[in-house]
A and B are shown apart, each in its own frame.
Chain A
Amino acid sequence: MKDIKINVNGKTHKLNIKEDERLVDTLRNRLGLTGVKEGCSEGECGACTVIMDGETVTSCTVLTFQAKGKEIITIEGINGGNKIHPIQQAFLDEGAVQCGFCTPGMILSAKVLLDKNPEPTREEARKAISGNLCRCTGYNKIVDAIIKASKYLKREGN
């Protein structure tokens, strides 16, 4: 076992973890952040996507010790955990959610894109979510939602 500190959704946690513990398990089982979905367990589907120091990672292929001292954001912390985030609102408004299993990962991938590129083209939006598989939506309404979210964020001056 190993003691580490990680910052998740703006809060620092001191944890005693197993050496080979995966970040997805720490987030879900120790911190109760079940918005992190486990799909394929091999870094292909993107359901377990979280943001680590401003970049998306698949938390099933990150060991928790690798997150030591890093800042993690999950879907629960995307807007301080209180209010719905404009990207989430855009997903609702565009009908971009069907079964919902890919949605947390999609929204976090969209956030990293929009943080870096506030006015993406549809192609750039497609590229940003290309590591997140979705079986229901055919992606088009998700792309619509990302473009709409960029407008919402611009209006809010974020």
Chain B
Amino acid sequence: MIKEGIGLGTMFYGTGYGNGFPDVSKAEAVLRADGKVAVHTGATEVGQGAKTAMTQIACEVLGLKVNDIILISEDTSNMPDSGTAAASRQTYNTGNAVKKTCEDLREKIKEEAKLKLNLNTDVGLKLKDGYVYVETLPEKSIALKDLAKDKSLKIKGSFTAQTTEMDPETGQGAPYWPYTFGACAVKVSVDTLTGEVNVLKAVFTQDVGRAINPSLVEGQMDGGFSMALGYALLEDINVDNGKIKNDSFTNYLIPTSLDMIDIDNILIEDPENTAPYGAKGVGEPVMIPVTPAILNAIYDAVKVRITEIPVTPSRVLKELNKSKK
């Protein structure tokens, strides 16, 4: 018999290394002679979109177009350290370092423009599309490339996240900052004859602070859901006496396109005040609430609480048989 059930999972997750561990990101920004800005930072791109997000942040601060930011993030001889692309920390930590560094460069550019344009002050100066201009008199302007002609402007900056060590005795404290929150609801079917579980429908919400790039966030949510779906139902490395038995894709099954479903992704934007434009990390958080939601939905469908993953058909049948006795 096919039985259906609905389940919910919720989570919160602390961004960054946490627990007092120094969590530092660095960046350098250089106004080049051609008027473009080079941003050097060690935010490793692994497909999550770090290069896009860092470029967007620099564009926003400096009023430049994407093609006018040269991001150097893979040449280790030519960029400062920005820590690992781990702990869902790059957008928050390195994003902050890039934003702060570009803001300092922007102020330096304004100062230079003040001198070049013979102004009393740099108050009311704006940067847009490669020009600095007086907001109330836009014809009073100078191109960034003319500013950089005889003097290269270079800024170094860094950002250190505020984390404190927990009390080792009580485990109390505030080890992470900031936290992200998420919730996922799924509908599953359980075949009581074969033990097969299928996820039929999913609604997935993720607090992102501010989505620097909504499409990238959705991509992270889809990917996190898929990984968690595999974690819940398919993936078993099957360690026996210290040896991994399922060591190939023939028996270590990860979800295919036919295992995945279309998800109703909902981004919650509640800007975090210490974050770059309010943005928080979502890389790992998006995997967390999905497996509990699936397990709760299985319970709702067949009233059997499964506490071991992956929930393979044989495990479902075993638990169903146990519950009948």
Complex interface bits, A29-52 against B, C-beta within 8 A gives 1, otherwise 0? 000000000001010110000000
Which residues in B have their C-beta under 8 angstroms from that of A121? none
Interface assignment of A117: CB less than 8 Å from any CB of chain B: no
Q: Is the CB of A139 within 8 A of B227?
A: no
Q: Is the CB of B219 within 8 A of A95?
A: yes
Q: Is the CB of A141 within 8 A of B258?
A: no
Interface assignment of A136: CB less than 8 Å from any CB of chain B: yes
Q: Is the CB of B47 within 8 A of A136?
A: yes
Query: Measured between alpha carbons, how far is A130 from B258 in the docked complex, in Å?
Result: 6
Interface assignment of B216: CB less than 8 Å from any CB of chain A: yes
Query: Measured between alpha carbons, how far is A127 from B257 in the docked complex, in Å?
Result: 7
Interface assignment of B164: CB less than 8 Å from any CB of chain A: no
Q: Closest CB of chain B to A38's CB: distance in Å?
A: 13
Query: Measured between alpha carbons, how far is A95 from B249 in the docked complex, in Å?
Result: 26
Instruction: List which B167-225 residues lie within 8 A (CB) of chain A.
Output: 215-216, 218-219, 221-225
Interface assignment of B306: CB less than 8 Å from any CB of chain A: no
Q: Which of A40, A99, A141 contacts B249 (CB 8 A)?
A: A40
Query: Measured between alpha carbons, how far is A131 from B267 in the docked complex, in Å?
Result: 30
Q: Is the CB of A42 within 8 A of B222?
A: no
Closest to A96 in B: B219
Which residues in A have their C-beta under 8 angstroms from that of B320? none
Which residues in B have their C-beta under 8 angstroms from that of A127? 257-258
Interface of B (DSSP majority class)? loop
Query: Measured between alpha carbons, how far is A132 from B48 in the docked complex, in Å?
Result: 20
Given A42-B250, A122-B262, A130-B256, do A137 and B216 touch, yes or no (CB 8 Å)?
Answer: no
Interface assignment of B118: CB less than 8 Å from any CB of chain A: no
Q: Is the CB of B47 within 8 A of A98?
A: yes
Given A42-B249, A44-B249, A130-B256, do A139 and B222 touch, yes or no (CB 8 Å)?
Answer: yes
Q: Which of A130, A133, A137 contacts B222 (CB 8 A)?
A: A137
Give the A-B contact count at a CB cut-off of 8 A: 79
Interface assignment of B254: CB less than 8 Å from any CB of chain A: yes
Interface assignment of A140: CB less than 8 Å from any CB of chain B: yes
Q: Is the CB of B222 within 8 A of A141?
A: yes
Q: Is the CB of B219 within 8 A of A98?
A: yes
Q: Is the CB of B48 within 8 A of A98?
A: yes
Interface assignment of A100: CB less than 8 Å from any CB of chain B: yes
Q: Which of B47, B219, B227 contacts A141 (CB 8 A)?
A: B219
Given A95-B219, A98-B48, do A126 and B257 touch, yes or no (CB 8 Å)?
Answer: yes
Complex interface bits, B254-268 against A, C-beta within 8 A gives 1, otherwise 0? 111110101100000
Which residues in A have their C-beta under 8 angstroms from that of B250? 42, 44
Interface assignment of B226: CB less than 8 Å from any CB of chain A: yes
Interface assignment of B307: CB less than 8 Å from any CB of chain A: no
Instruction: List which B222-266 residues lie within 8 A (CB) of chain A.
Output: 222-227, 248-250, 254-258, 260, 262-263
Query: Measured between alpha carbons, how far is A40 from B252 in the docked complex, in Å?
Result: 12
Query: Measured between alpha carbons, how far is A138 from B229 in the docked complex, in Å?
Result: 10
Query: Measured between alpha carbons, how far is A136 from B220 in the docked complex, in Å?
Result: 8
Query: Measured between alpha carbons, how far is A125 from B197 in the docked complex, in Å?
Result: 23
Instruction: List which A99-127 residues lie within 8 A (CB) of chain B.
Output: 99-100, 122, 125-127
Which residues in B have their C-beta under 8 angstroms from that of A143? 257, 262
A-B contact pairs, 14 of them (CB 8 A): A40-B248, A44-B250, A45-B249, A95-B218, A99-B46, A135-B226, A136-B219, A138-B222, A138-B224, A138-B260, A139-B255, A140-B222, A140-B260, A143-B262
By a beta-carbon cutoff of 8 Å, the part of chain B in contact with chain A is: 46-49, 215-216, 218-219, 221-227, 248-250, 254-258, 260, 262-263
7 nearest A-B residue pairs (beta carbon): A138-B222, A99-B47, A98-B47, A138-B226, A44-B249, A95-B215, A139-B257
By a beta-carbon cutoff of 8 Å, the part of chain A in contact with chain B is: 40, 42, 44-45, 94-95, 97-100, 122, 125-127, 129-143
Q: In the complex, given contacts A98-B49, A137-B223, what are 20 additional A-B residue pairs having Cβ atoms less than 8 angstroms apart?
A: A40-B248, A42-B248, A98-B219, A129-B257, A132-B257, A133-B249, A135-B226, A135-B227, A135-B254, A136-B47, A136-B219, A137-B222, A138-B223, A138-B224, A138-B227, A138-B255, A138-B260, A139-B260, A142-B257, A143-B257
